[in-house]
Structure 1
C-alpha cells in the first residue's frame, strides 16, 4: 500500500470518526432538547392556568364553571397554524385538576374524572410543595405513546384556605406532537454529517493524490538516477520542491565526482598504448638509424600523437553530451540540410579514399533539437562508414519520415559488424580493427552518437545490410 493511500485512509478514518461522533451527539441531543423546551412551555402554561382556575376551585365549580368552559372552548377552537411546514389544526394539550386528596375533579377530555391520581408523580410531588412532572405511556405496549404531564399547585386564599395547596392542575401533551420536528432535525443533522464526510473524502483524495504525485515524481527521479538514465529535476512546490532540488544538487555532485574518476581511469588506460608506442619510437630515434627507419618512427610518433589528441577531443565531447540532461533551446531543423552539412564535412576524405557518398533525403523531413550535436553524430557515423567501406565503393546516406519520427541511415558495403561485437559497439572505448590493418579508432564515436540520440529522445542502432555491409540507424522524434 503506497503512502498516498495510507494517508487517505488515515485521514478519512479520523474525519469519519469525528463526523460520526458529532452527528451522534447532535442526534442524541435533539430529542431531549426539544422535550426540555416543551416542558418549559408546559410549566408556564400550567402555572398560568392554575391561577385562572383558582376562583372556580375555591368556589367548588371547577367542573362546570367559567374556567372549564373556556378550556373546552380552547380545545374546540380551530388554530389553522403552519409551523415550519407542519400544520396545526387544534390545541394539543389536555388539562386535569385534582383536589387536595389527588382525586380528579376536572378533565378537559372527560376521561378520568373521579380517578385517584394521588400516586402519580406530578400530583404526588406538587401536593407536597415540590415540582411535579412525569412522562407516561398512554398505551403500555407502544413506546412512542408517551405523554408529558407537568403540574402546578392551586393555592387557597381568604380564610382558612389561605396559603394551602387546595388542588393540582396538570397540563398533558403527547411527546408525539414533537416527533415530526425531532425527526426533521435529526435528518438534517445526519444529512449534513454525510455531506461533511463526502467533502472530507474528496479533500482527502485530492490531498493524497497530490502527495502521491509529488512523492512519485521524486521516486521516479531517484530510480532514473540509480539506473544512470537522464532525468530532469522533478517540478514540485514547497518542501517537495526543496527536496527535489537537494536531490538534484546531490546527484550532480556525486555524478561529477564519479564521472571524473571513471573518465580519468578510462583515459589513463586508453593512453597507455599510444604513449608506449611513442616512448619506444623515441628511444629508437636516439640511436643512429637508416633514414627510412627514422622516417617510419617519426610518422609513428605523429600518428600516435594525433590519436591521443583525437581521443581527448572526442572524450571531452562525449563528456559534455553525457552530462547534459535535456536540450535547453531546441531548434527546428531541416533533415536534408543537416545531412548535407554532415556529408560536406567528410567529402574531402571520401574523395581521397575513392568512396562515393550518395544522399537520398526527404525534403519534408523536419525535426527539433540541437543542430550542432546532430551534425556531429552524423559525421561520426559517416567517419565510421568510411573506415570500413572498401576503396571505390559507395556509402549511402538517407533521411526520411517514418510515422512521428525521422530516420537517418548510413549504409556501407564493408565486411559488416561481427555478431559478437554488435551489442558492444556503443560501449565507450570499444573499437574493431580496420580492414586495411590501420590502428583502431578511439572507440568514442558511436557512444557519442548513442548519447546524442538519447538526449533527443531517440535511439541509435547498427544492423546487418542485405548483400553485405552495415547500416547505422539514427531514429529521432520528429
Structure 2
C-alpha cells in the first residue's frame, strides 16, 4: 500500500513538472501578446494624431512626408538623447527603444525615426501589406542580420475620408523584452519549486500520519505471528484501532484453543510418569508392608513433583497470557543479586560450590518487576547449581554496555549443553538429565525465564564455554 502511494506521488511529480514546464513555455508568447497589445494601442494613437493634423489642413495629405517628420522627428530625436532610470519590478530601464516608420499608400517608407529606412519599399512586408489591404498588420522579424531576437512590427492605417493614404508602424525590439521574460521565468520556477517543495513536505507529513498507524498495526500482527510479547500499539485512527483489536482478539482465541490443547496433552504426558510411580508404590505397600516407609517417601516425592509441575504450569500460563507487565520497580542489581545468592546458600554448601561475584560498580540500576525478575534469576542460578560438579565455581558478574544497557552474566563449570539442545532449552517441557541422579526436571524453568525476560524487553542468550560449562547472559535496557 505504501509503495502504491509513493508510485502515485512519483506520477504526480512527473505531471506537476510537465505542467510547470508547459506553463513556463507559455510565458514568452504571453509576454509578447501583452507587448503587442500595447504597441497596437500606441500605433493607433500615433496614426490618429496624423489624421487629426490632416483634418485641420486637408492639403497636408499631399505633403504627408513633411507632416510626419514635423510631428515625430524632433520628439524621437529628443527621446533618444534622454537619460532616465525606471525601476520596473526588479529590472532597471535607462533608455527608450521604441521606433516608428511611416509609408505612403504604395508602401514606400517616407519617414523613419532611425533615419535608415527612408525610400525603401516595404509594401511586401506583412505589417504594411496587410494594413494596406484593410487587415491587421503585424510581423515579427529581424531589423539587422546580426540580431538574434528581432523585433515586433505593429502597423495601423492613416485614413483620409475612408481612404488609406499611409501606414504607421511601431517597432519594439525584442531585446528590451527578453530580460523581463527571463526574470518572469526565473520567478515562476522559484515559485514552482517552492510550491513543489511545500506539496512534497505536506504529502510526506500526511503519508507519515496516514501510514504510521498501518505500519504499526502490520508490525504488531507480525509480532503476533512470531509469538513475540508486544503491547497493542496506539494507532490513533478509530477504524484501524478497532480492526487491530479484532485481529488481536481473533489471534488470542485461536492461540488459546491451540494452547489449551497443547497443555492438556503435555500435562497428561508429564503427569503419567509420577502417577504410575505412585500407583506402583500403592500396590507394593499391600504386598510388602515392611517397605511402607520407603514407598511412602517415593509417593510423597512424586506427589510433590506433580504439585511443582502444576504450579509451574499455572505460572507459565499466567505469563504467556500477558502482553505486558508493570516495570515500575527501581532495582539496584547488586543488593538484589546478593539476596538471590543468599537464598541458595544451603544448596551451594551441600555441593561445595564456590560463587565468584564480579560487581565492579556498586550501582547497576534498572527498572523492572522485582518479583518476576527474582523468579527468573532464581531459575537460572538453580540450573547452574544443578548442572555444576562438586567444588566447581559459579561466576556472577555485571557489566555496563555503553550508557544504555546493563548485562548480567551467570556462568558455571559444569557439563556443556549438547549442540542439538542449545536451541531447545527454553522450550516448554524440554529438559536434560541432571548429572547427579540423571533425572529430568519439568522442563518449564527456562521457559518461565524467557517469558519474564521477554516482558522486560531483555536479550536472553545461552552458550557453551570452552572447554566446558555454560554461560547465561541477560542484557537489560537502562530505562
Q: Normalising by the residue count of structure 1, what TM-score does the alignment of the two structures yield?
A: 0.79
Aligned to 1:160: none
Instruction: Work out whether residues 453 and 474 of structure 1, in 8 Å CA contact, stay in contact via their aligned partners in 2.
Output: no
1:431-450 matches, cutoff 5 A: 431-434=431-434, 437=437, 440-450=440-450
Tell me whether 1:187 sits opposite 2:186 in the alignment: yes
What's the offset of the Cα at 1:372?
A: 1.0
Q: CA separation in 1, counterparts of 2:198 and 2:39? A: 42
Alpha-carbon distance in structure 2 between the residues aligned to 1:295 and 1:126: 136
Higher relative contact order (CA 8 A, sep 6+): 1
In 2 relative to 1, CA 422–43 (structure 1 residues): closer, same or farther, beyond 3 Å? closer
Work out whether residues 156 and 169 of structure 2, in 8 Å CA contact, stay in contact via their aligned partners in 1. yes
Write the deviation string for residues 289-346 of structure 1: whole angstroms up to 9, x where unpaired.
4432344444433332221111010111122333434443242223343234334545
Q: Does 1:300 align with 2:302?
A: no
**For structure 1, which runs of at least 5 residues remain unmatched after alignment?**
157-162
- How many equivalent residue pairs? 458
Shift of 1:218: 4.8
Name the CA distance, whole Å, in 1 between partners of 2:99 and 2:240: 68
Instruction: Give the counterpart of 2:151 among 139, 142, 146.
Output: 146
Structure-to-structure mapping, 1:405-444, within 5 angstroms = 405-409=406-410, 411=412, 416=415, 419=418, 423=422, 424-434=424-434, 437=437, 440-444=440-444
SS class of match (1:193): helix
From 82, 86, 92, give the equivalent of 1:86: 92
Cα distance change on mapping 1:185 and 1:276 into 2, 3 Å: same
2:308 aligns with one of 307, 310, 315 = 310
Structure 2 residue 39 is the aligned partner of structure 1 residue 42: yes
- The 8 Å contact of residues 112 and 118 in structure 2, kept in 1 or not, is answered as yes
Show structure 2 runs of 5+ residues with no match.
none
Name the SS of the counterpart of 2:462 in structure 1: strand
SS at match of 1:63: helix
2:363, 2:121 → 1: CA distance? 111
Look up the match of 2:266.
266
Cα distance in 1 for partners of 2:425, 2:133 equals 111
| Maintained 8 Å contact 2:354/2:391 | yes
TM-score (norm 2): 0.79
1:381-396 paired onto structure 2 within 5 Å: 381-384=380-383, 387=386
Corresponding residue for residue 159 of structure 1: none
2:49 equivalent to 1:52: yes
Query: SS at 1:271's partner residue?
Result: helix
The verdict on how the C-alpha distance between 1:340 and 1:394 changes in structure 2, with shifts beyond 3 A counting, is: farther
Task: Say which of 130, 133, 140 aligns to 2:138.
Answer: 133
Between stretches 212-221 and 103-112, larger displacement belongs to 212-221
CA RMSD between the two structures: 3.8
Q: In the alignment, which residue of structure 1 is the partner of 2:64?
A: 62
**CA–CA separation in structure 2 for the residues paired with 1:90 and 1:290:** 134
Q: Is the alpha carbon distance of 1:443 and 1:141 closer, same or farther for their aligned partners in structure 2, counting shifts above 3 Å?
A: same
Distance 1:174 1:471, change over 3 A: closer
| Cα deviation, residue 48, structure 1 | 2.4
